[in-house]
């Protein structure tokens, strides 16, 4: 299952606390101005690994075991965040930092754990 969450407007931590369920998700962070660069500031997960970065003339990609961040240089107003299914027993947290001309902004994404069935 793939769901999308479209976040409109400038990216700020106050306005952009995004909570999604445990399924695989695609979150699209939209900015009102060209995004110059991005990174992730911190993560809280049991699946973290060494990050891998790729860059070309058309895209910049950062990924680890449970997420992938993509900036399409042909449309530099969005950062695409692809989250794998959360199979762990705790919530995952990812803080994305987006650098723009005016300022740096942040978005906190929380991917909930799978609910435990009641007995």
Domain 3-111 has CATH 2.30.110.10: no
Do the beta carbons of residue 11 and residue 105 sit within 8 Å? yes
Structure tokens at 25: 């998700």
Q: What is the mean pLDDT of residues 79-85?
A: 92
Lowest mean pLDDT of 7-16, 93-102, 104-113, name the range.
7-16
Domain ranges for the chain: 3-111
Work out the pLDDT band at 1, boundaries 50, 70, 90: very low
pLDDT in tens, 26-66: 888 888 888 999 998 888 887 667 789 999 999 999 999 89
pLDDT bracket for residue 12 (50, 70, 90): low
Q: Is 46 left (phi over 0), alpha (psi -120 to 50) or beta?
A: alpha
């Amino acid at each position: 299952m793939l769901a999308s969450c479209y976040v409109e407007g400038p990216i700020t931590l106050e306005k952009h606390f995004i909570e999604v369920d445990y399924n695989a998700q695609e979150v699209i962070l939209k900015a009102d101005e060209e995004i110059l660069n991005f990174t992730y500031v911190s993560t809280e997960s049991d699946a973290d690994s060494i990050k891998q970065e790729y860059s070309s003339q058309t895209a910049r990609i950062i990924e680890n075991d449970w997420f992938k961040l993509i900036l399409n240089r042909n449309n530099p107003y969005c950062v695409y965040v692809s989250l794998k299914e959360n199979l762990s027993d705790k919530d995952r947290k990812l803080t994305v930092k987006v650098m723009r001309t005016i300022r740096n902004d942040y978005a906190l994404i929380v991917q909930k754990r799978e609910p435990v069935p009641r007995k």
